[in-house]
Amino acid sequence: MTATKQWHVNKNVDNLSGCPQIQEAAACLKGNEVVAFPTETVYGLGGNALSDEAIEKIYRAKGRPSDNPLIVHVASLEQLHQICDSIPDSAQKLIDAFWPGPLTIVLPKTGALSKRVTAGLSTVAVRMPEHPVAHAIIKAANLPIAAPSANSSGRPSPTLASHVLDDLNGKIAGVVDGGASGVGVESTVVDCTVEPVAILRPGGVTREQLEAVVGKVTTDPALSQPDKPPKSPGMKYQHYAPEAPVYLVAGGKEKIQELAKLAQSNHKRVGVLTTEENKCEYPMAAAVIACGKRADLASVAHCLYDSLRAFDETHVDIILSETFPMKGIGAAIMNRLSKAAGGRTIE
């Protein structure tokens, strides 16, 4: 157990990469230590992508299965060319349109990276984050930085520095606290080694936005058919789960009310994951958590992981969740909720 250092930074100051907190965090990364920092999606757990030692520390701290490769984060196109052999046309268009931002692109890799980063694949997943703190740290370290979400494997991803500490305190060298992440769900992962481009994980950039730039995109069939092996290894694991089991209830609030009454009569403490619009509809539940506004799905994405984590303090026996439309960022919300539920859906 090592003490986890905390640095507080204001993401809005000028010349962030010169400030002492960022310099210290970058020095840890150069010394092959692992450090968590905010990105515009969720907090990441960063390590030098060229070092086996640093990558090993990431897998160990998270308890992450070793066959699940990491995303490499860059601050410049120069760094991208260091780690990728060739950039297909589709990837170049997506880079021009969405970087820096919440889009991860799977590309053919060079031999520069630690082999542990890509878990034996011939490709690497790369993104250029937009968050000023993430950008400043990568720039100050002057290294490509591998960074999975900074949670223990299986838990909801962290959107606050306190979430990182709840999971990883004593297991990592430090965390840079730059306030809440913005989008709230992870980046979209797209495979640009195939034509047409394929979505491997829905996320911060929507299908509609991708199609406006590269035309028709496909979706990995494993996203809708759980018996198919996913092309993104991480998608086969249960994820994002709070302590109590989650059930996704497709039948609307009447069905949730009926199930909550039934569970209560069986002496079970019921939690309901809802939104501002419906939060007064479940007086029979022991805990009701409103996750943003249904009329604004971006607000639901922003609060989703914090809401799932908040159920752990309520000591409920089960969590019943409302469902959301699959349009826009709703696809990413429903993907994360169905993972959190381990596929338990009540029609």
Binding region for ligand TXA (CB under 6 A): 39, 41-42, 44, 68-71, 102, 104, 106, 118, 121, 123-125, 147-149, 186-187, 189, 200-201, 231-235
- Under 8 Å between Cβ of 318 and 263: yes
- Residue least distant from ligand TXA (Cβ): 234
Q: Min. distance of Cβ 342 from ligand TXA in angstroms?
A: 16
Pairing mode of beta strands 246-249, 345-346 = parallel
Q: Min. distance of Cβ 147 from ligand TXA in angstroms?
A: 5
Give Dmax (Cα) for the chain: 62
Sheet with 123-127: strands ordered across: 5-8, 174-177, 35-38, 43-48, 145-146, 71-73, 123-127, 103-108, 188-191, 198-201, 218-219
Q: Which does 334 bind (CB under 5 to 8 A by kind): Mg ion, ligand TXA, none?
A: none
Q: Min. distance of Cβ 275 from ligand TXA in angstroms?
A: 23
Comparing CB distances to Mg ion, the nearer of 158 and 271 is 158
Report the interhelical angle of 297-310 vs 161-168 (nearest 10°): 30
Q: Min. distance of Cβ 274 from ligand TXA in angstroms?
A: 25
Q: Which does 118 bind (CB under 5 to 8 A by kind): Mg ion, ligand TXA, none?
A: ligand TXA
**Interface pattern 305-324 for Mg ion (x via CB under 5 A):** --------------------
Comparing CB distances to ligand TXA, the nearer of 117 and 272 is 117
Instruction: Pull the structure tokens for residue 345.
Output: 């859906």
Residue 212 falls in which region: left (phi positive, over 0), alpha (psi -120 to 50) or beta = alpha
Comparing CB distances to ligand TXA, the nearer of 201 and 294 is 201
* Cα–Cα distance, 113 to 122 (Å, whole number): 11
**Interface pattern 136-155 for Mg ion (x via CB under 5 A):** -------------x------
- Under 8 Å between Cβ of 210 and 190: yes
Phi, psi of 333 (to 5 degrees): -60, -50
* Cα–Cα distance, 300 to 232 (Å, whole number): 25
Quickly count: other Cβ atoms within 10 Å of residue 220's Cβ: 21
Q: Which element (helix H / strand E) includes 188? A: strand 188-191
Q: Min. distance of Cβ 116 from ligand TXA in angstroms?
A: 12
Comparing CB distances to ligand TXA, the nearer of 232 and 307 is 232
Q: Which does 125 bind (CB under 5 to 8 A by kind): Mg ion, ligand TXA, none?
A: ligand TXA
Q: Which of 71, 108, 84, 90 is nearest to 233 (CA)?
A: 71
Q: Which does 32 bind (CB under 5 to 8 A by kind): Mg ion, ligand TXA, none?
A: none
Q: Which does 147 bind (CB under 5 to 8 A by kind): ligand TXA, Mg ion, none?
A: ligand TXA
Q: Min. distance of Cβ 270 from ligand TXA in angstroms?
A: 30
Q: Establish if 188 lies at the interface with Mg ion (CB under 5 A).
A: no
* Cα–Cα distance, 108 to 275 (Å, whole number): 41
Q: Which does 57 bind (CB under 5 to 8 A by kind): Mg ion, ligand TXA, none?
A: none
Comparing CB distances to ligand TXA, the nearer of 202 and 271 is 202
Q: Which does 244 bind (CB under 5 to 8 A by kind): ligand TXA, Mg ion, none?
A: none
Q: Which does 48 bind (CB under 5 to 8 A by kind): Mg ion, ligand TXA, none?
A: none
- Under 8 Å between Cβ of 32 and 143: no
Q: Which does 187 bind (CB under 5 to 8 A by kind): Mg ion, ligand TXA, none?
A: ligand TXA
- Under 8 Å between Cβ of 172 and 36: yes
Q: Which residues bind Mg ion (CB under 5 A)?
A: 149
